[in-house]
């Protein structure tokens, strides 16, 4: 399981007793949970539950044995929607740009395209992930960012390296050190394609 994968099969009985009512509502409605970057006990996976509101995010764990279905971000590349929203128009615009890359859709757009549950609105960003096993040079990152910035909404693309994820916008920027998100937390690094010491 990787960060941003969507998992189905969690039950309300697997939630902690202090879970808010909206979390129970989402799980009882059959919504998927999203894998998050965190260390979990053997046999468990760290997940997050999404509510209807942006601030409704609940971190918990799910037993691996409960997983009935898994959708990875890459599986959503060809999924379309009849809804007319800036994030979905941006996606249509960027599909041919990213066609040769190992990319996928995360965030609200990924959640909606995978589950059919409306999660996007007029002001939603488009969240994408790009699997970069090999180093992406900063000049190439700047070129890609310039294309993303022509989209009809804000596009947040994460570069997934073998050691964690870094925001394309940050890697394309001028800072010598960038924030690499890993399962053990966030680290300021010079090279996101090097293991964190």
pLDDT for 197 equals 74
The rounded distance, in Å, linking the Cα atoms of 19 and 5 is 22
* Per-residue model confidence as pLDDT tens digits over 140-184: 999 999 999 999 999 999 999 999 999 999 999 989 999 999 988
Token pair 């804000």: residue? 154
Active-site residue identified among 127, 143, 149, 191: 127
Is there a catalytic annotation at residue 127?
A: yes
Q: Edge-to-edge strand order for the sheet containing 57-63?
A: 57-63, 44-50, 33-35, 6-8, 69-71
Residue 174 burial (10 A CB sphere; 0-12, 13-18, 19+): exposed
Helices 138-148 and 86-98: angle between axes, nearest 10 degrees: 140
Model confidence, pTM = 0.93
Active-site residue identified among 5, 84, 92, 125: 125
Question: Is residue 53 very low, low, confident or very high in pLDDT (cuts 50, 70, 90)?
Answer: confident
The rounded distance, in Å, linking the Cα atoms of 60 and 86 is 31
User: 3-class DSSP state for residue 96?
Assistant: helix
The rounded distance, in Å, linking the Cα atoms of 129 and 107 is 10
The rounded distance, in Å, linking the Cα atoms of 104 and 69 is 18
pLDDT for 105 equals 98
The rounded distance, in Å, linking the Cα atoms of 185 and 1 is 17
Alpha helix segments (H runs only) across 3-156: 21-28, 86-98, 107-115, 138-148
* Per-residue model confidence as pLDDT tens digits over 93-141: 999 999 999 999 999 999 999 999 999 999 999 999 999 999 999 999 9
* Per-residue model confidence as pLDDT tens digits over 3-52: 999 999 999 999 999 999 999 999 999 999 999 999 999 999 999 999 98
């Amino acid at each position: 399981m990787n960060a941003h994968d969507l998992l189905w099969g969690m039950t309300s009985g697997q939630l902690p007793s202090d879970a808010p009512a909206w979390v129970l509502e989402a799980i009882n409605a059959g919504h998927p949970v999203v894998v998050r970057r965190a260390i979990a006990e053997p046999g468990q996976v760290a997940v997050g539950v999404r509510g209807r509101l942006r601030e409704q995010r609940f971190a918990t764990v799910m037993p691996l044995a409960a997983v009935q279905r898994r959708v990875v971000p890459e599986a959503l590349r060809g999924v379309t929607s009849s809804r007319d929203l800036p994030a979905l128009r941006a996606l249509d615009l960027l599909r041919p740009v990213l066609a040769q890359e190992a990319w996928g859709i995360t965030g609200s757009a990924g959640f909606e395209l995978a589950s059919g549950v409306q999660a996007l609105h007029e002001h939603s960003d488009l969240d994408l992930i790009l699997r970069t096993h090999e180093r992406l040079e900063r000049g190439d990152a700047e070129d890609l960012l310039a294309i993303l910035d022509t989209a009809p909404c804000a596009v947040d693309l994460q570069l997934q390296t073998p050691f964690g994820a870094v925001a394309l916008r940050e890697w394309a920027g001028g800072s010598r050190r960038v924030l690499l998100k890993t399962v053990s937390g966030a680290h300021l690094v010079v090279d996101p394609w090097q293991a964190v010491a």
